[in-house]
Structure formats: C-alpha cells, structure tokens
Amino acid sequence: MTSMQQMFDFGTSRVLMSGGSGVLGRTLVRALLAHGAEVVILSRTPAQTMQHFGTDLGRERLTCLAADLAQPDSLTRAVAEALAGGPITHLVNGAGGNRPNATTGTQAFADIPLAAMHEVMDVNVFSAIQLSQAVVPHFAARGSGCVLNISSISTTRPLTRVVSYSVAKAGLDAYTRWLATHLAREYAPEIRVNALAPGFFLTEQNRFLLLEADQTTLTERGRQILSHTPMGRFGTPEDLVGAFLWLLSPAAAFVTGQIITVDGGFSAYSGV
C-alpha cells in the first residue's frame, strides 16, 4: 500500500497553472513547490509574477510564461512552450475574476454591456476550456492526468449583483462534470477532472467589498457574509491547501467530476 506521505509527494509532477499570481494562487503554487512539484504559471506579467516568489522554497522549479487568457493564440503558444520543457501531469485552471461593469452594483441589469459579460465568461470559462483542449491530448497519450478547475460557491447560491461571475462559474462546474465523464469514458479512466469551490476569502479583488477603508471594520456586505458563515470568519489562502493537494494527489484517485467546497459552512447554512 502506498503511504500517505508518498501520495502527497509531487516530486515527479509538472503542473501547468493559470491564475497563479493572485493571493490564493500564489499560496497554492507555494504548496506545490513545497511538495516537490515543478510548476509552470501562465501570466500576462511574468517578471512581476516571479517577483512574488522571491527566494521561496522550490523557486528553482518555478517557471512563468507570458500568456493572455483572453487571447486564444496566446494560450496556444504558451502551452506549446510549456510542453517543450517537458510533459505536463496536472492542469490547474485557476484564473478567474469579475468586472465591475459586469455587475448590477452601479447599474441596472438591463444596462450591463454584453461585452463585459463576455469578458467574464472568457477568463472564467473559455480559458479553462481552451487550456484543457491543448493539454488533454497529452494526458490521453500517457493514459493519465489531472485537471483541477477553481470554481466558486456562487454557483449554487448566486450572489446578489454578481450575475456574470455566478453564471460563468456555474458554467465551469457543468464543464467540470462533463469533461470528467467524457475523458474517463473516451480517453482513459485515469484522467480525472474536479473543481475546488472557495467560499469568501479576503483577496485584493474583494477586500474593498468586505472591509472599510481602515481594513478592520466590516462593510455591511461583509457583516452579512459572516452572519451566514457558521465558522464566523473569512477563509485564509492556507485553508485551501489541503483540499487542493488532495484533489491533485493519488489520494483522490477515485474522485472525478466533483465540486469540493471550502467555505466555512456558508453553503450549508439556511439562515435560521
């Protein structure tokens, strides 16, 4: 029997990841490096992204390639460059985000530009689809591989105002389940596809929505969120690491087509 320690040894793994430059993404990259993986990040600003990792443990196994997730040709070139450096064993579609003009925060629903909604769909859904299309044939040739999509709890309980983001991540969940079934039946049973759905985590993107200017006092939205979170706090990036590594590891060898939620109980709470 393989020991649990061996299952979480990524020393023979090479992970291609989008969305590795944000607060959550950087923590997940560091976890992979700490467990021996080689990691290739796709970023629009490679030099700036690499600066985030300074002299971190395992930085010599980290590469950052230039890629614009909204540009299909850019992604195709970046994946080809990544594959030229060696086989890819895992794909993490971690890119995501919203656009202020794709919400009802400052405008009516009828006034949301479709172009803004398309942008949100592109970064959250279509970049994951295109990266999967580029990498999956290499998984199929090897007979194994792992795709992990980063979703959101907003898929099952759509959040007020963020219509485009909720719709996009719901699409990503449906795509996760479809791809898991398709790859296992049509390519190889050992190609797994899952998604990790974080709850409310403090990031650069949402900090202004959850905290006042003093960075301590909760906004009204922040208070509402915590009042519906049984564990009574926002998540920290480290809270994602355990589930993240598990889904990528042989410990989850019989897990595919699943959306694993890490949200402090938010999605389980009915409000009463």
pLDDT at position 58 over 60: yes
- For the stretch 182-215, pLDDT in tens is 999 999 999 999 999 999 998 777 777 788 888 8
Binning pLDDT at 50, 70 and 90, where does residue 218 land? confident
Of 165, 175, 187, 269, the active-site residue reads 165
Identity at 144, one-letter amino acid code: S
Burial 49-72 (b: 16+ CB within 10 A, else e): bbebbeeeebeebbbbbebebeee
- Pick from 79, 69, 75, 35: which is nearest to 249 by CA? 35
Domain count, the chain: 1
- Residue 99 or 82, more confident: 82
Cα 135 to Cα 58, 88, 132, distances in angstroms? 24, 8, 5
- Joined together, the tokens standing for residue 218 give 């909760």
How high does pLDDT run on average in the chain? Answer: 93
pLDDT of 272 reads 82
pLDDT at position 100 over 70: yes
Domain coverage including residue 111: 4-268
pLDDT of 63 reads 96
- Cβ neighbours of residue 220 closer than 8 Å, sequence gap 6 or more: none
Give the CATH number, domain containing residue 65.
3.40.50.720
> Is the Cβ–Cβ distance between 198 and 263 less than 8 Å?
yes
pLDDT of 17 reads 98
- Positive or negative, the CA dihedral 112, 114, 116, 120 is positive
pLDDT at position 1 over 70: no
Binning pLDDT at 50, 70 and 90, where does residue 216 land? confident
> Is the Cβ–Cβ distance between 146 and 179 less than 8 Å?
no
- Pick from 33, 34, 31, 36: which is nearest to 12 by CA? 36
Interval 20-25 mean pLDDT: 92
State how far the Cα of 131 lies from the Cα of 16, in Å rounded to an integer.
Answer: 9
State how far the Cα of 188 lies from the Cα of 192, in Å rounded to an integer.
Answer: 9
**Terminal-residue alpha carbon distance, the chain:** 45
Is 165 among the catalytic positions?
Answer: yes
